[in-house]
Structure 1
Amino acid sequence: MCGITGFSNFKKSIENEFNNIIEMNDCLIHRGPDSRGYYKHKHVIFGHRRLSIVDPFGGSQPMTKKINGFNYTIVYNGEIYNTHIVKKNLLDEGYTFVTYSDTEVVLLSYIHYREDCVKHLNGIFAFSIFDEERKCIFIARDHLGVKPIFYAIKDDYLIFGSEIKSMLKHPLVSSVVSREGILDLLSLGPSRSLGNGIFKDIKEIPPAHYLCVFEHKVVLKKYWNLEAKEHKWGLEETKEELTYLLENIIKNQMVSDRGIFAFLSGGIDSSLICSILSNEFKKCNKILDTFTVDYVDYDKDFKGNEFEVTSDKDFVKIVNEKIKSNNRIITIKNEDLFYFLEEGLFASDIPAMADIDTSLYLFCRGVKKYGTVGLSGECADEIFGGYPWYLNSEDLKMETFPWCRFSQSRKNLFNDSIKKLDFDSYVKNKFDETFKDFSYLDVDSEFDVLIRKMTLLNIKWFMVTLLNRKDRMSMANSLEVRVPFADKDLVEYAYNIPSKIKFVNGREKGILREVARKFLPSSVVDRKKSPYPKTQSLIYRDLVCSKLKNILNDRSNPIFDIIDEKSVRYLLESKGESFNKPWFGQLMRGPQLMAYLIQLNMWMKKYNVNIEI
């Protein structure tokens, strides 16, 4: 994977502004430590940071092709899993290739198909192409939003980058946060509404969209949508097809000139990926490396609850006995969860999941010592119905986000300038906007329609949030993490599996459990869902309490511009227990919420945030 950035202005020369790209590009070094490259034109300047995975010598960027006297230049971040198919089609059309990198395939695909190139790609990607012939910049993002890309259009400039921090390095992009940005952050965060970059000047290209910027017009267009189709197969045929899809997706995602490893949590999703991947390794007489997260004294501190019923450790052992992987446990110090809160914030550029992010950051940092390319189990819950709200009739009929239903409780932590904002209407409007392109069949039952709506809601919101987290925390450590369950073809297939098959035996992810029985022991297959593990350490809690107390005792801290001091002090005195509802999904209560407030203050300081309400 890589980091991309650039800017353009078709109404004036910008050649003398090259110094801006150097700073924008250098702050993405974590996304591409292996090399850097630049492209300069009278109206266009691109920057690229490369993490070399495929074709280390031939895949350098920016890459330029000259066709019929016109140059086409690309900066690209991603991995195309159907490269061989797209390449064969282009060869049949008479194109020639000088590298075996997918960068060249994407560029020639654009030259041949223009905007429709994205309809031929299956993978994870964000790329920008300068089309000299049409005098335009074309930027595209993958179908499900695995790879990020932000942009700004201001004073005839287009400015873009893989991360917000790169955008903020351009002198035209300010750190002002608008009313809509603060509404998004505090009422829906850590999710963001489609296209919202939180900062006033910054937008994000939504998943499955492309942006075309010409001298006199700008076009933002959606190129893919989840479409309802009839599912004609029964349980056994569906199991066979899902098994075939998963095995082929994982094979395709093994493409790398570096070794492949996998994350193993002991849950059904990562365990299934590890088992299939291990089978592929055994065909080559190789042993798969797997990695598991743990915390110092986690077993001693662990207390089961409605969300985390059991610890992961025993299930990791069971899976590993089955697949015979080389499993390494990355153990995180509870003190480090606190001390690295700022690194986690800087990786994401906005306050998100506090130590839930930091733990993934530290886990990826530990894994990076052993490898560069891994597979992970995110997204199965969203597409196969793994969360509690999929089988709760009240949640299914609720006209709001089931993971973010306590907006009034959120408001109570903030001062009157925030309280006057209409959280409820904002959230309801964003909820309703989700379904403007909702697709279902006339023959669908009422329950099937509700499940389709819940699936779409999860894919567009909850899943993108988790993918953002995975991308930022892994790439902050120059680690490429691939997500087999976020495959376009698999998502389309799963969307159309009828509820009676999807939830076979009355279980969440019922059909996936049936597929997994071929690969995993029953104790793992039938395990109740457990979220990403978070620390329950009193050491961590006390460090967070001490830091929040120090912040509240210094009125120069910017967080006083938005918080209700009395409510936050009450939260502190209760050591986080006074806010007894999860801030987001099944996460962020108690110490996690206090850590979020600490990160909010860090963010306002570090990014020199100016809030306009």
Structure 2
Amino acid sequence: MCGITGFINFKKNISNEDNILNGMMDTLKSRGPNEEGMYISNNIMFGHRRLIVVDPDGGKQPMIKILNGKKYVLVYNGELYNTEDLRKELLDYGFSFEGYSDTEVLLMSYIRWGIDAIRKFNGIFAFAIYDEKEKRVVLARDAMGVKPLFYSNVNKTFIFASEIKALFKHPYIEPIVDKDGLAELFALGPAVLPGRSVYKNIEEVKPGEYVIVSEDGISKDMYWELVAEEFKDTEIEAVEKIRHLVFDAVKRQTVSDVPLCSFLSGGLDSSAIAAIVAKDYKEKGKILTTYSIEYEDNEKYFKSSLFQPTSDRDYARLMAKYIGSDHREVILNHGELVNSLKEAVIGRDLPGMADIDSSLYLFCEEVKKDFVVALSGECADEIFGGYPWFTNKDMINADIFPWSRNIKERKEILNDSLKNLKIEELAKAAYDDTIKEVPKLLGESKEDARMRELFYLNLRWFMVNLLNRKDRMSMANSLEVRVPFADYKIVEYAFNIPNNIKLLNGREKGLLRKALEGILPNEIIYRKKSPYPKTYNPVYTEIVCKTMNEILADKNSPILNIINKKKVQEIVDTRGKAYKKPWFGQLMTGPQMIAYLIQINYWLEIYNVKIV
């Protein structure tokens, strides 16, 4: 993976602004610690930071190609998983290659097919291509939104980057949040509106979208969208198809010139990926290394709940033994967990999922000591129905985002000057607008139509937020994490599977479980869904409460301009029990909600956010 940035102005000469570009590139060092490169011309400034994964010599960027007198320049972040298929097709058309990188294949594909090339890409990516003859820059982001791409259009200058922090290094952009952005933060956070960023004048290329910048202005269009189609396969055919799609996605994503490992929680999704890779490795005489995460003394304090019925450790060990992996457990210290809330904010450029973020940050920091690439099981829950809101009737029929149902309680945290923020209205409007987008299928039952809505909501909102978390926390440590279940072919097929097949035998992810029979031990296949592990140790609660008390006692703490201090003090004094509902998802309750407020304070302070 890499970091890309740049700016474009077709109205004036900007070639002497390389110092600005350098500053923007410097913020992306963690995304690309191995190499850097720049392309400078009168109207185009491209910068690139590279993390070398494939073809060290042949994948250097910015990549410039001149064919038939036409110049093309590419900066690219990501991986194409159908590189060799595309290369063969291009060779048949008479193209030749200087190396074996996917970077060169991506650029040659654009030269051959233009914008239509994007529809051919199977991978995770964000890129910008300068097409000199057409005098335009084309930017695009992968279908699922695994890789980020932000931009701003100010003073006739189009500025883009992999992360928001790079944009702030351009003199035209400031960290300004207006009342709409603040309402968004408290109505939806840590999620954000599609195409938005919370910050004023900063947008994000949507998953499956491309943007064209030219002398005539800016245009946008979607190159990939979900389609509702009648499902004609039988249950047996669906099982076989899912097994094939998952195996294909995992195997495509093991290509790497650097060490590769796999995350392993002992849950269904990560276990499936680890088992497929371990078998492939064993056939090649190699042993897969797997990693799991745990917290100090957590076994003493773990509490089973609807959201987290079982602990991971025993299952991860069972699975590691089953596949014969070199398994390593990363044990997290609670002091470091709280201290890293700040690093997690810097990674996201926004408040995130509290210690759900900071724990992943520390985990990736440890994995990076020995590996450059890892595989992870994200997205299967959104695609195959792994969360309680796919099976709990009250959650299914909630007329709001099921992972963020308690908006009224959020509003109570704000001080009197912000009580007029339309938080509940914004959340409801965002939900309603998304429901209107859901592809419809004539003749579909009311139940299947509602489940289609739920899956669409999860793909467009919850999954994107988790992918943002994975990308930022991993790339903050220069670790590339691939997510095989986010393959658009899996998503397209699964989206149209009827509920009675997708939730086979009345189980969450029932179809996926059936597809993995014979590949995983039954203890793993039929283990009840348990989400990303969090700490239950009271030491963590004490540390976050102490930290929040220090913030509340400091009259210069910027969060005091936003919150109801008395209400927050009550939450801290009760160790989070005065705020009983999850802030977001399944895990942000009690001390995690307090940690989220700590992150908001860090964010306001570190970024010197101006609220207008």
TM-score, normalised via structure 1 length: 0.98
Q: CA deviation at 1:60?
A: 0.4
Q: CA deviation at 1:180?
A: 2.3
Q: CA deviation at 1:303?
A: 2.0
Which amino acid letter does the alignment assign opposite residue 604 of structure 1?
L
Structure 2 equivalent of residue 241 of structure 1: 241
Q: 1: distance between equivalents of 2:605 and 2:184?
A: 19
- SS of equivalent residue, structure 2 residue 437: coil
Structure 2 equivalent of residue 317 of structure 1: 317
Q: 1: distance between equivalents of 2:464 and 2:196?
A: 13
Q: CA deviation at 1:455?
A: 0.5
**Any idea what the Cα deviations from partners look like across 1:431-482, whole Å, max 9, x if unmatched?**
1221343223213211111111100000000000000000000001100000
Q: 1: distance between equivalents of 2:570 and 2:394?
A: 32
The answer as to 2:84 corresponding to 1:114 is no
Q: 2: distance between equivalents of 1:531 and 1:386?
A: 9
Q: 2: distance between equivalents of 1:463 and 1:417?
A: 33
The answer as to 2:253 corresponding to 1:270 is no
Which amino acid letter does the alignment assign opposite residue 75 of structure 1?
V
Does structure 2 conserve the Cα–Cα contact (< 8 Å) formed by 1:267 and 1:524? yes
Q: 2: distance between equivalents of 1:317 and 1:143?
A: 34
Say what the alpha-carbon RMSD is for the aligned residues.
1.1
Q: CA deviation at 1:238?
A: 1.3
Which amino acid letter does the alignment assign opposite residue 9 of structure 1?
N
Q: 1: distance between equivalents of 2:46 and 2:82?
A: 26
Structure 2 equivalent of residue 591 of structure 1: 591
Does structure 2 conserve the Cα–Cα contact (< 8 Å) formed by 1:153 and 1:159? yes
Structure 2 equivalent of residue 168 of structure 1: 168
Does structure 2 conserve the Cα–Cα contact (< 8 Å) formed by 1:225 and 1:437? no
Which amino acid letter does the alignment assign opposite residue 411 of structure 1?
K
Structure 2 equivalent of residue 382 of structure 1: 382
Q: CA deviation at 1:36?
A: 0.5
- SS of equivalent residue, structure 2 residue 227: coil
Q: 1: distance between equivalents of 2:436 and 2:157?
A: 31
Q: CA deviation at 1:48?
A: 0.4
Alignment of 1:544-563 (within 5 A): 544-563=544-563
Q: CA deviation at 1:340?
A: 1.4
Residues 550-559 or 298-307, more deviating: 298-307
**Any idea what the Cα deviations from partners look like across 1:186-227, whole Å, max 9, x if unmatched?**
110111110111110211001000000111221011111111
- SS of equivalent residue, structure 1 residue 124: strand
Does structure 2 conserve the Cα–Cα contact (< 8 Å) formed by 1:181 and 1:196? no
Alignment of 1:428-439 (within 5 A): 428-439=428-439
- Divergent runs of 4+, >6 A: none
- SS of equivalent residue, structure 2 residue 435: coil
The answer as to 2:523 corresponding to 1:514 is no
Which amino acid letter does the alignment assign opposite residue 550 of structure 2?
N
The answer as to 2:83 corresponding to 1:83 is yes
Q: 1: distance between equivalents of 2:8 and 2:533?
A: 44
Alignment of 1:409-420 (within 5 A): 409-420=409-420
Structure 2 equivalent of residue 487 of structure 1: 487
Structure 2 equivalent of residue 223 of structure 1: 223
Which amino acid letter does the alignment assign opposite residue 158 of structure 2?
L
Q: CA deviation at 1:301?
A: 2.3
Q: 2: distance between equivalents of 1:387 and 1:195?
A: 25
- SS of equivalent residue, structure 2 residue 589: coil
Q: 2: distance between equivalents of 1:344 and 1:217?
A: 35
Does structure 2 conserve the Cα–Cα contact (< 8 Å) formed by 1:247 and 1:276? yes
Residues 43-52 or 176-185, more deviating: 176-185
Which amino acid letter does the alignment assign opposite residue 551 of structure 2?
I
Q: 1: distance between equivalents of 2:221 and 2:168?
A: 25
Q: CA deviation at 1:547?
A: 1.2
Does structure 2 conserve the Cα–Cα contact (< 8 Å) formed by 1:142 and 1:208? yes
Structure 1 equivalent of residue 524 of structure 2: 524
Which amino acid letter does the alignment assign opposite residue 372 of structure 2?
T
Structure 1 equivalent of residue 96 of structure 2: 96
* Unpaired runs of at least 5, structure 2: none
Does structure 1 conserve the Cα–Cα contact (< 8 Å) formed by 2:379 and 2:485? yes
Structure 2 equivalent of residue 610 of structure 1: 610
Q: CA deviation at 1:184?
A: 1.6
Q: CA deviation at 1:283?
A: 1.4
Q: 2: distance between equivalents of 1:304 and 1:502?
A: 26
Which amino acid letter does the alignment assign opposite residue 419 of structure 2?
K
Q: 2: distance between equivalents of 1:438 and 1:545?
A: 42
Q: 2: distance between equivalents of 1:203 and 1:304?
A: 40
Alignment of 1:41-52 (within 5 A): 41-52=41-52
Which amino acid letter does the alignment assign opposite residue 308 of structure 2?
E
Does structure 2 conserve the Cα–Cα contact (< 8 Å) formed by 1:364 and 1:473? yes
- SS of equivalent residue, structure 2 residue 547: helix
Q: 1: distance between equivalents of 2:383 and 2:198?
A: 27
**Any idea what the Cα deviations from partners look like across 1:118-150, whole Å, max 9, x if unmatched?**
101010000001111111111000000000000
Structure 2 equivalent of residue 543 of structure 1: 543
Q: 2: distance between equivalents of 1:180 and 1:194?
A: 14
Structure 2 equivalent of residue 184 of structure 1: 184
Alignment of 1:43-82 (within 5 A): 43-82=43-82
Which amino acid letter does the alignment assign opposite residue 521 of structure 2?
P
Does structure 1 conserve the Cα–Cα contact (< 8 Å) formed by 2:307 and 2:388? no
Structure 2 equivalent of residue 308 of structure 1: 308
Which amino acid letter does the alignment assign opposite residue 238 of structure 2?
T
Which amino acid letter does the alignment assign opposite residue 279 of structure 1?
K
Q: CA deviation at 1:354?
A: 1.1
TM-score, normalised via structure 2 length: 0.99
Which amino acid letter does the alignment assign opposite residue 316 of structure 1?
A
**Any idea what the Cα deviations from partners look like across 1:537-556, whole Å, max 9, x if unmatched?**
22221111111111111111
Structure 2 equivalent of residue 283 of structure 1: 283
Q: 1: distance between equivalents of 2:320 and 2:134?
A: 55
Does structure 1 conserve the Cα–Cα contact (< 8 Å) formed by 2:149 and 2:162? yes
Q: 1: distance between equivalents of 2:521 and 2:507?
A: 17
Q: CA deviation at 1:321?
A: 2.0
Structure 1 equivalent of residue 34 of structure 2: 34
**Any idea what the Cα deviations from partners look like across 1:74-126, whole Å, max 9, x if unmatched?**
00000000111212222222222111111111111112222111101010000
Which amino acid letter does the alignment assign opposite residue 595 of structure 1?
A
Q: 1: distance between equivalents of 2:57 and 2:536?
A: 47
**Any idea what the Cα deviations from partners look like across 1:338-373, whole Å, max 9, x if unmatched?**
111111111111001111100000000011112111
Residues 10-19 or 426-435, more deviating: 426-435
Does structure 2 conserve the Cα–Cα contact (< 8 Å) formed by 1:15 and 1:43? yes
Residues 458-467 or 421-430, more deviating: 421-430
Q: 2: distance between equivalents of 1:307 and 1:396?
A: 15
Which amino acid letter does the alignment assign opposite residue 172 of structure 1?
Y
The answer as to 2:472 corresponding to 1:475 is no
* Unpaired runs of at least 5, structure 1: none
Q: 2: distance between equivalents of 1:579 and 1:257?
A: 48
Does structure 1 conserve the Cα–Cα contact (< 8 Å) formed by 2:254 and 2:260? yes
Structure 1 equivalent of residue 356 of structure 2: 356
Does structure 2 conserve the Cα–Cα contact (< 8 Å) formed by 1:361 and 1:474? yes
Does structure 2 conserve the Cα–Cα contact (< 8 Å) formed by 1:5 and 1:160? yes
Does structure 1 conserve the Cα–Cα contact (< 8 Å) formed by 2:577 and 2:590? yes
Which amino acid letter does the alignment assign opposite residue 250 of structure 2?
I
Does structure 2 conserve the Cα–Cα contact (< 8 Å) formed by 1:174 and 1:201? no
Residues 249-258 or 84-93, more deviating: 84-93
Q: 2: distance between equivalents of 1:473 and 1:543?
A: 22
Q: 2: distance between equivalents of 1:539 and 1:500?
A: 44
Q: 1: distance between equivalents of 2:446 and 2:281?
A: 44
The answer as to 2:404 corresponding to 1:404 is yes
Q: 1: distance between equivalents of 2:22 and 2:153?
A: 20
Structure 2 equivalent of residue 465 of structure 1: 465
Q: 2: distance between equivalents of 1:179 and 1:283?
A: 58
Q: 2: distance between equivalents of 1:179 and 1:487?
A: 37
Q: 1: distance between equivalents of 2:289 and 2:528?
A: 25
